[in-house]
Structure 1
Amino acid sequence: MNDSRLRELEGARVLVTGGGGLVGSRIVALLNANGAHASVLDRFDAYPHSVRGLFDVDVNAARVVFGDVREAATVRSLVQRADYVIHAAAYADVAACTRQPEVAFAANLQGTQTVLEETLGSPVKRLVFVSSASVYGNGGGDGVQEFTESQPLVPISVYANTKLWGEHQVRLMLGGSQSQQYSVVRYFSVYGDPQVPKPGSHSWMVPWLSMAAQLGMPMRLNGGGRQVRDMVHVDDIARATVLALVADGASGQTINVGSGRATSVREIAEVICRHYPDVELVNAPLPEGDPLGGYADTRRSRELLGWKPTVTLEVGIDRYVQWLKSNPDVVPDWMVPAPAPTV
């Protein structure tokens, strides 16, 4: 979808930390399509299954740097040549952050602090910090809830705690700057090809469920699939994030990036089942730190960004399943069940 406002970025230099991942690579592609020069800083280790070639980072980025956001000298050299920063780098797997909080703290706290320290006093005009709807936790109430940016935050996972700290730190360090602006975007549940699940994770239910069905395995519904998610296609997520760089009203604001629609995990599985009608649904326990969920209050994204999602869940899942059927080799080996022993 074309947006004339993004033409303001023509010729601009934009640093995208974490630009080698699913969302980051879509952001880089969108920047490139609008004439911006994107530099990527990434360790390229987020996926145990090699999908880098599917993200086209090397095609769309003006520069790709293999490095860590905790490396001050590397970050300094990049921000000194940037007009804007999108800080998307993070240890973003909820289950992995619970298992290895020290890794989450290093990447999400120390890394964010390094980016902020090096951004201060640089030529950067605005930094967009990528946060998460996980900061809402279960919202402190019962039932399906609408999450509003100004409500009290009650995170229930290590990952969510690190994102909330990042939000506070961005405000503390850039909120008083006369020359540099910031925006915080809270992503709800991102999905879309070429997303590939990670072992030991319970995030990213569209690829998890789709790949299980592709293999003829039962689709496992944690918590019986009663928890809800506000699903947003990665293409829409990327557009909202880039708009946060240029929208005047987004400066100094925290903005939900969601559809405003609550969909249960069971409903998501049922949409996938339309493509795999013979696959069984089975219930499983709810993992630790997995919120019951809610949906976004979208007033700020509409009013401040002039944004709303364009890809419906049904269309997005159809795209994902068609991509998966066309690329069966993307299913990680660890998901493939071992053959039964011969007698």
Structure 2
Amino acid sequence: MLTESVSARLEKLRDSRVVVTGGAGLVGSRLVRLLRRAEAEVTILDRLDAYPDDAHATLFGVDGLGADLVVGDICDRAAVRRVLAGADYVVHAAAYADVAACTRRPDIAFRANVEGTQVVLEEVAASDVRRLVLISSAAVYGNGEPGVRGPQVFREDQRLLPVSVYANSKLWAEHQTRLLLSGAGSPEYAVLRYFSVYGDPQVPKPGSHSWMVAWLSMQARLGRPMRLNGGGVQVRDLVHVEDVAAATALALVEEGMAGATVNVGTGVPTSVREVGQLIARHFPRVHFLTTPLPEGDPLGGYADTEQCRELLRWTPGIDVRAGVERYVRWLTRTPHAVPGWLSEG
């Protein structure tokens, strides 16, 4: 939640220039709106192809953010160099950000998440940027430590055992960031490991099994059974997009974040089935359908938030019950948000 203290700390960004790669997506658009409220000048570099049905404009409101939108690819070195000219800060959020899609097309994942990140890091290293914030994922933890039963708490310094192409690409990006930006005179960097981000106006993507609050809510809205992959036993740490945007903005300015890797989560484990039950309260006639667990879908865990509290000096403000209720209410007010491919399928 954006508190007064957070707003005051973000005043450091006034009149600075911030580049957000992937800034036209769910988190990126919320982040850009927050940066603009802090009176920073913002440039978005985004391909605008992550969602069908023109969701970037119709739902995320990219055209009205007051930012300079550059439609381009992070693999395009010339485009990256142009947007970085004169930049003070960079948030690198652009990625092929879907576990299932990366599993189906590891070649695309490699190009976007590895080659593209390499271009961004090289250009940042050669620039006058003060700090880069790399957006990583809790996927790097995989299923946690083998042999441990029940939900695990994931700590930033534990052994990392990714179980998907997507997670591998994110872990590589973390390592490469440290390698390229740890030398004397290099820009500072910080790494944020997002846990399960949700919140309006999030919409599902075709062929994806991520974004479970949006998926399950829309299925219920359409009068269809809510599918619980693997019976819904997977545990997630659901963190609202407004909280994620605030944490990301703070990572640009908090001194203690230089060179740090920090979980962005709530520290509260919630099973997929529990999320389904929260949604079902708003749709009394809905029922559940158990389906197989998709390949690469981790059993999950939840964030240790000590580093987040100490280094970001921040805690999230929206719990999962309130966040799910907000999403369902938004969906009820905005029925056109259900993608055409989903409503017709």
DSSP 3-state at the match of 2:200: coil
Distance of 2:319 and 2:343 partners within structure 1:
30
Matched, 1:131 2:156: no
Preserved CA contact (<8 Å) 2:32 2:67 = no
Shift of 1:214: 0.2
DSSP 3-state at the match of 1:11: coil
Structure 2 unaligned runs (5+)?
none
Preserved CA contact (<8 Å) 2:155 2:304 = yes
Distance of 2:269 and 2:192 partners within structure 1:
19
DSSP 3-state at the match of 1:41: strand
Find the counterpart in structure 2 of residue 35 from structure 1: 39
Distance of 1:239 and 1:49 partners within structure 2:
28
DSSP 3-state at the match of 2:302: strand
Q: TM-score, normalised by structure 1?
A: 0.97
Find the counterpart in structure 2 of residue 65 from structure 1: 70
Report runs of 4+ in structure 1 exceeding 6 Å deviation.
none
Matched, 1:227 2:222: no
Counterpart AA for 2:97? A
Counterpart AA for 2:306? R
DSSP 3-state at the match of 2:12: helix
| Equivalent residue in structure 1 for 2:260, among 253, 258, 270 | 253
Find the counterpart in structure 1 of residue 115 from structure 2: 110
Find the counterpart in structure 1 of residue 305 from structure 2: 298
Counterpart AA for 1:267? E
Moved more, 174-183 or 207-216: 174-183
Counterpart AA for 1:185? L
Find the counterpart in structure 2 of residue 193 from structure 1: 200
Shift of 1:49: 2.8
Find the counterpart in structure 2 of residue 315 from structure 1: 322
Q: TM-score, normalised by structure 2?
A: 0.96
Counterpart AA for 1:256? N
Preserved CA contact (<8 Å) 1:40 1:61 = no
Deviation digits for residues 247-299 of structure 1 (CA, Å, limit 9, x no counterpart): 00000000000000000000000000111111001111100000000000000
Distance of 1:181 and 1:61 partners within structure 2:
27
Shift of 1:332: 1.5
Pair 1:170–1:201, CA change in 2 (3 A): same
Query: Aligned pairs, how many?
Result: 338
Match runs of 1:276-291 below 5 Å: 276-291=283-298
Match runs of 1:45-194 below 5 Å: 45-53=49-57, 54-141=59-146, 142=148, 143-194=150-201
Counterpart AA for 2:117? T
Find the counterpart in structure 1 of residue 246 from structure 2: 239
Distance of 1:148 and 1:214 partners within structure 2:
36
Find the counterpart in structure 1 of residue 21 from structure 2: 17
DSSP 3-state at the match of 2:153: strand
DSSP 3-state at the match of 1:55: coil
Deviation digits for residues 164-186 of structure 1 (CA, Å, limit 9, x no counterpart): 00000000000114241000000
Preserved CA contact (<8 Å) 1:16 1:87 = yes
Counterpart AA for 1:120? A
Q: RMSD of the alignment, in Å?
A: 1.0
| Equivalent residue in structure 1 for 2:334, among 314, 327, 331 | 327
DSSP 3-state at the match of 2:24: coil
| Equivalent residue in structure 2 for 1:215, among 217, 222, 232 | 222
Distance of 1:74 and 1:282 partners within structure 2:
46
